Every structure is written in C-alpha cells, then in structure tokens.
Amino acid sequence: MSVRNWIHNRPHALEIVYQFTEWVFYRLDPLFARIGYDRTDRLIRPAEELGKKLTFDCRMCGQCILHSTGMTCPMTCPKNLRNGPCGGVRSNGHCEVKPEMKCVWGEAYERSLDMSVYGHEMTMLQPPVNRRLEGTSAWVNMLTGVDKEVPEGWVSVEELSATA
C-alpha cells in the first residue's frame, strides 16, 4: 500500500491535523495581514501544493473542502463534481469515465463516516468552483473569506433555510 493510501485512509487523523492547521493559520492571520495576503500566498502556496498533491492528489482549486468530503479531494472526480456522484457510478463503485478508478464520492462518503467533527458536512450543498481561485492557497483564501464568495444568483442552503 502506498504512503498516500495509508495516510488517506485515516480520515479521523487527517481531521485532527486539519483542525490544528486551521487553528495555526487563524492565529497567524494578523501577521499575514501585515505582510500582505498576496505575499503570504506566494510564500505558503508551494508547500501547500506539495503537501496536498502528495497526500490528496490535490488540484489546487483554491476552495479546499477536504474537511467536508471525508478528506477526499472532489476535484479528482473526472467531471469535477463538488456535490456527489454523477449518477454514472458503476455497480462495482467505480467511475463511469475512468472505470479503473473508484468513484471519488463513494470514497468520500465512506471516509466521512470516520470523521467525528466534520463528517456531517458531507451532506452540505457546495457552491460551484470559482475558477478564478485555481492555483492559489486555499488557506489564504480561507483567511480572506474569498473562498466563501459564491457566483451571482447562487442561493446557499443556509439562505434557503432562512427564507422558509
């Protein structure tokens, strides 16, 4: 078994690492704001890209939702779906586009069951990917809030619930 698979198949441990990393970034936010988020992005992005690529086969979409998808990168789905399987999942649980590959969303669901803090987020509706953020640091985008910006006309689940 590869090191990536060994790490990837421990979503609860990754969840703890994620929580710690998020805590560190929020504590360092005043420093990052002082030196500038653009400069911070240039400093952080190479390490973030390498670490996420090796661990999650990350595509650096700039809107990381690993914690919401069982620590499985939804951008590895050949169709780039952010809200579950396409309906073309084969009977063996593999992808309709790449039959040799397990469905990303099947893996995400299974792994989310092992997560105690973020596992429930698997059922949350995710906004479409903001392609303008590709290649940028998701951590910096989280700090600035740009990762939460949604396309014009998009209505979030929270907004729908508030109007009901």
The tens digit of pLDDT for each residue in 101-127 reads: 999 999 999 999 999 999 899 988 888
* Mean pLDDT, residues 142-150: 90
Count Cβ atoms within 10 A of the Cβ of residue 86 and give its class: 0-12 exposed, 13-18 middle, 19 or more buried.
middle
User: What's residue 35's pLDDT?
Assistant: 97
Length of the chain: 164
Please determine, for residue 19, whether its predicted confidence score (pLDDT) is greater than 70.
Answer: yes
Picking from 125, 120, 108, the residue whose alpha carbon sits closest to that of residue 70 is 108
Picking from 134, 138, 1, 15, the residue whose alpha carbon sits closest to that of residue 68 is 15
CA angle 98, 51, 56 (to 5 degrees): 25
Q: How many whole angstroms separate alpha carbon 101 and alpha carbon 77?
A: 9
Task: Give the model's confidence band at 154: pLDDT under 50 very low, under 70 low, under 90 confident, else very high.
Answer: confident
Please determine, for residue 15, whether its predicted confidence score (pLDDT) is greater than 80.
Answer: yes
User: What's residue 157's pLDDT?
Assistant: 61
Task: List CB contacts of 128: < 8 A, sequence separation 6 or more.
Answer: 82, 151, 154
Q: How far apart are the first and last CA of the chain?
A: 49
User: What's residue 3's pLDDT?
Assistant: 66
